[in-house]
Amino acid sequence: MKFSELFHTIQGEGQLIGVPSVFFRTSYCNLRCVWCDTPYTSWEPEDRDITVAESVAAIMRYRCKHVVITGGEPFIQPKELTALCHELDKRGHHITIETNATLFAEVAAHLISMSPKLRNSNPPEDHRFFKRHERERICPDVIRQFLDAYPCQVKFVVDTPEDLTEIQTLQTEIGIPAETILLMPQGTTSAVLQQKQEWLVNLCKENGYRYSPRVHVDIWGDKRGV
Cβ-based nearer residue to ligand SF4, 32 or 66:
32
Residue 185 touches ligand SF4, criterion: CB under 6 A: no
Q: Residue 180 gets which letter from DSSP? A: G
| 116 near ligand SF4, rule: CB under 6 A | no
90: amino acid identity, one letter:
K
Residue placing its CB nearer to ligand SF4 in the complex, 89 or 136:
136
The C-alpha atoms of residue 70 and residue 23 are separated, in whole angstroms, by: 7
Nearer to ligand SF4, 38 or 153 (CB): 38
13 binds ligand SF4 (CB under 6 A): no
- Identify which range of 66-74, 147-155, 168-176, 203-211 contacts ligand SF4 by CB under 6 A: 66-74
Q: Which of 26, 27, 41, 55 binds ligand SF4 (CB under 6 A)?
A: 41
Read off φ and ψ for residue 208, nearest 5 degrees.
70, 25
Per-residue exposure over 67-99, b if at least 16 CB sit within 10 Å of its own CB, e if not: bbbbbbbbbbbeebbbbbbebbbeeebbbbbbb
> Exactly one of 6, 10, 17, 36 binds ligand SF4 (CB under 6 A); which one?
36
- Geometric angle at alpha carbon 217, from 68 and 111, rounded to 5°: 25
Q: Which of residues 123-162 bind ligand SF4 (CB under 6 A)?
A: none
By CB neighbour count within 10 A (0-12 exposed, 13-18 middle, 19+ buried), where does 208 fall? exposed
Residues that bind ligand SF4 (CB under 6 A): 29, 31-33, 36, 38, 41-42, 71-73, 100, 117
